Amino acid sequence: MKDTFTHEIDPIENKRLDFSDAIKKYLFYWKWFVLCLAIFIFISYLYVRYTPTQYEVFSTVLIHNKENESVSSELSAFKDLALIDNNKSLFDTEIGILKSRSLMEKVVKKLHLNKTYFAKGIVKNSELYATNLPFKIMFFDKDSVLYQKDTTISIEPLSETKFALFDAANLEIGNYKFGDKIESNISDFTIVPTLATSIQVGQKIIVSIKSVSKITDEYRKKTRIEPLDSKSSLINITLRDQNKLKAQEILKVLIEQYNIEAIIDKSLIAQNTDKFINDRINTISKELTQVDIETENFKTNNKLTDIISETGLILDSNNKLEKETLNLNTQLRLVEFMNEHISKKQYELIPLNLGLSNENLNQNTKLYNELLLERNRLLRSSNQLNPIIVNLENQLSDIQKSISQSLLNLKSSISISLNNLKKQENEFDSKIKSVPKQERTLKDIQRQQQIVETLYLYLLQKREENAIALAIKAPNAKIIDAAYGSDFPVFPKKLYVYGLALIFGFVIPFFGIYLFFLFNNNVHTIEDIEAVLDVPILGDIPKSKENNLGFGSSNTRGEIDEALRIIRTNMFFILSKNKKKCKNIFVSSTFKGEGKSFTSIHLAKTLALSGSKVILIGADIRNPKIAEYLELENKKGLTHYLADDSIEIKSLIEPVPYLNFDLLQGGIVPANPSELLMNGRFDELLSHVSEKYEYVIIDTAPVNMVADTVMLSQERADMFVYVVRANHLDKRMLKIPKKLHETNKLQNMAMILNYSDPKGAYGYGYGYGYGYGYSEEIEKKPWWKFF
């Protein structure tokens, strides 16, 4: 309950009050905040409790490839052409291989990830893996048959040796023993217990079988592979999964499989060289056998058993010449083998380290093989139209031509050297003319035998060296941090979820209440009236939860009575300047249902309690309610007096004993109320009652419904009490009393706020805080309607 007369408030203090009022507005609806908090916390609990947990596993690896360093240096030429950043390109290529679908598919097949086991729960199922599996399912068909299948089966142990089997629709298929062969339309299978954990009778295990393709795509999406930073070759691999142990195993096998693939790629040169050497060894072995047979046949046919001693001295001086000839012939054969290999096969690895004396040729061969490997690697993730691959193929073609030309030059050089040696040999031949022809022929055969034998032994040595190189290939990735992860799940995050619950628990009711204030444009407090009308405020009448109107209550200390005493005091103050013996107080409102009749009765009662003589006149002859509220019998009233000149006013006035004031009822509802009120008899009525009473309370019709009230009050109202019902009248309707006041159509206007909340519209009040009030046509709200 707020008094009319207030002191001026300092602006700073006013800001503090506004802030405090704003807080109290929302605190008034604290039940909504508590309810929303409880709901969101409960929802968060259910979400955290039943959402499948996700664990995050990390692994850090170092990517290095020393064999590609020379390739990198060759590719650096493209950097100046803005075609390739060699270091980043090679590093990104390795990341692309790690992300490749084929690599993940091999991991899925190796770990049998297309079969997933779940322990059935009431709300959610828990995944089982490795040491948590009580038994496992084994199919008799090849795995490739199951790689394309999708199905679900359930297994419920009935004992340590028996179980019930259910299909995907949870229909029982039958009871079996562990180890029995079970026939199905997908594949025959058996279920065998594991020693990892004991079998729990009654615990249903769901086995989900999905195609390898779906599982591969699923884990590719879950796996995140990215550089640790831009300046190093470190890669961070992250995987989220419901089972931590399973995620660690996947990352471990992924890196192992990547290294296996890298070693296979690196071994291609050695494998091709090994194949080349073995082919040459087989060919030369046949040649060597043929030469041995020729030697044997020649000696047999010519009956030769020993070399002529006379040729010893001559041949000793020719040893050096023969060694040179032997070496040059070996080189010549190797050149012919190399030239044959290059001319017949394009984009094939060229044998390396065959012992050719041309260093430039060896360097070009090594570079050719390295560039060819890089081209083949890039083709896995690209096509032949890629500018990098086109440039690599052009460079390979140039290097191949260079190798061919080098072989041709080397062959020519060897041929020249052999011709020179032949000339020198002819000179020695002239010195041994005395040697028998058979011996010279035998010497030629033995020389050919030595050449073939030397080449054979040389290739055997190179095969062993190549085998050693093949066995010691280093992996491409070095594990810096093995797969590890926290024991606490990363999803759902409890603190985050409950934090959001608290935020939403506060924000949603806050915005709900804010929107309610925004769209609820009704008058709530006296401040709403003061913001529009510059008229005296007599006070407010609080609402009541009682079923009766409270007119005959013996309790005079209730909040309504205290509020009415303040209103009475304010009325006395305003009317103190009026020296008339009888004061006419008109009471009206904008619309019906705002409590004007209720207010009129209480004003009459309160003024009577002060010892004044009071009469209440029911001038709302269109909708008379006073007799109904006072529970009196309807009698003749104002309309009868106005319509019948023979009726005396004193015969119509009746006392209301328990309220100590007199009453003139409205009477029956007439057909022409406006004409009756304006026929002059109403002035005679006021003149008559003014001689006997000190206060005349006149309950009139709503001002926005009819013009009766405005016409009656003109020049007659010593005070016009305008009643506004809180939480009922739209603020925009205050323009009606404002306009009537400004145009002086309603003189001496004062306002009363009816049916106000004892704590105020937003949780703060002006009254005494005990008891409530009542108004016309009050709708009793259930407990849960806080607004």
Look at phi and psi of residue 769 and say left if phi exceeds 0, alpha if psi is from -120 to 50, else beta.
left
Q: What is the pLDDT of residue 552?
A: 56
Q: What is the pLDDT of residue 139?
A: 81
CB 601 within 8 A of CB 632: no
> Which run of H or of E encompasses 385?
none
The lowest-confidence range among 251-260, 319-328, 500-509, 647-656 is 319-328
Tens digit of pLDDT for each residue in 203-254? 888 888 888 889 999 999 999 998 888 777 889 999 998 888 889 999 999 9
**Of 587 and 196, more confident:** 587
Look at phi and psi of residue 170 and say left if phi exceeds 0, alpha if psi is from -120 to 50, else beta.
left
CB 717 within 8 A of CB 691: no
> Which run of H or of E encompasses 57?
strand 55-63
pTM of the predicted model, to two decimals? 0.56
CB 561 within 8 A of CB 577: no
Section 321-337 average pLDDT: 80
Q: How confident is the model at residue 336 (pLDDT cuts 50, 70, 90)?
A: confident
The lowest-confidence range among 104-113, 401-410, 582-591, 757-766 is 757-766
Q: How confident is the model at residue 15 (pLDDT cuts 50, 70, 90)?
A: low
What percent of the chain is predicted at pLDDT more than 90?
Answer: 23
CB 201 within 8 A of CB 159: yes
Q: What is the pLDDT of residue 131?
A: 78
Residue 778 exposure: Cα atoms within 13 Å on the Cβ side:
24
Tens digit of pLDDT for each residue in 252-271? 999 988 888 887 777 777 77
Q: Which of 104-118, 432-446, 452-466 has the highest mean pLDDT?
A: 104-118
d(CA 617, CA 624): 10
Q: Are strands 172-177 and 162-166 parallel, antiparallel or unpaired?
A: antiparallel
**Of 504 and 299, more confident:** 504
Task: Beginning with the edge strand found earlier in the chain, give each strand of the sheet holding 115-119 in spatial order.
Answer: 126-128, 115-119, 205-209, 151-157, 162-166, 172-177
Degrees (nearest 5) of the Cα angle 736, 742, 743? 90
d(CA 501, CA 499): 5
CB 723 within 8 A of CB 587: yes
CB 489 within 8 A of CB 9: no
Q: Which amino acid is at 382?
A: S
The closest of 48, 60, 50, 487 to 245, measured between CA atoms, is 487
Q: Which of 125-129, 303-307, 438-442, 735-739 has the highest mean pLDDT?
A: 735-739
Section 598-621 average pLDDT: 93
Residue 322: Cβ-neighbour burial (10 angstroms; 0-12, 13-18, 19+): middle
d(CA 685, CA 648): 10
Q: Which residues contact 46 (CB under 8 A, 6 or more apart)?
A: none
What would the two tokens of residue 185 be?
Answer: 């339309």
CB 220 within 8 A of CB 42: no
Dihedral sign computed on CA atoms, order 560, 563, 567, 572: positive
Q: Which amino acid is at 567?
A: I
Locate all alpha helices (DSSP H) within 472-536, ordered by sequence.
494-519, 526-530
Q: Which residues contact 510 (CB under 8 A, 6 or more apart)?
A: 26, 33
> Which run of H or of E encompasses 333?
helix 319-344
Q: What is the pLDDT of residue 304?
A: 57
Work out the number of other CB atoms within 10 angstroms of the CB of residue 187. 17
The DSSP code sequence of 177-227 is ETT--B--SS--EEEEE-SSS---TT--EEEEE--HHHHHHHHHHHEEEEE
Q: What is the pLDDT of residue 407?
A: 81
Q: What is the pLDDT of residue 70?
A: 42
Work out the number of other CB atoms within 10 angstroms of the CB of residue 684. 14
Question: Hunting for tokens 């009662």 — which residue is that?
Answer: 605
Q: How confident is the model at residue 76 (pLDDT cuts 50, 70, 90)?
A: very low
The DSSP code sequence of 112-178 is TTTEEEEE--SS--EEE-GGG-SEEEEESS-HHHHTT--EEEEEEESSSSEEEEE-TTS-EEEEEET
Query: Does residue 316 sit in helix, strand or coil?
Result: helix
d(CA 770, CA 775): 17
Dihedral sign computed on CA atoms, order 334, 338, 339, 341: positive
Query: Does residue 95 sit in helix, strand or coil?
Result: helix
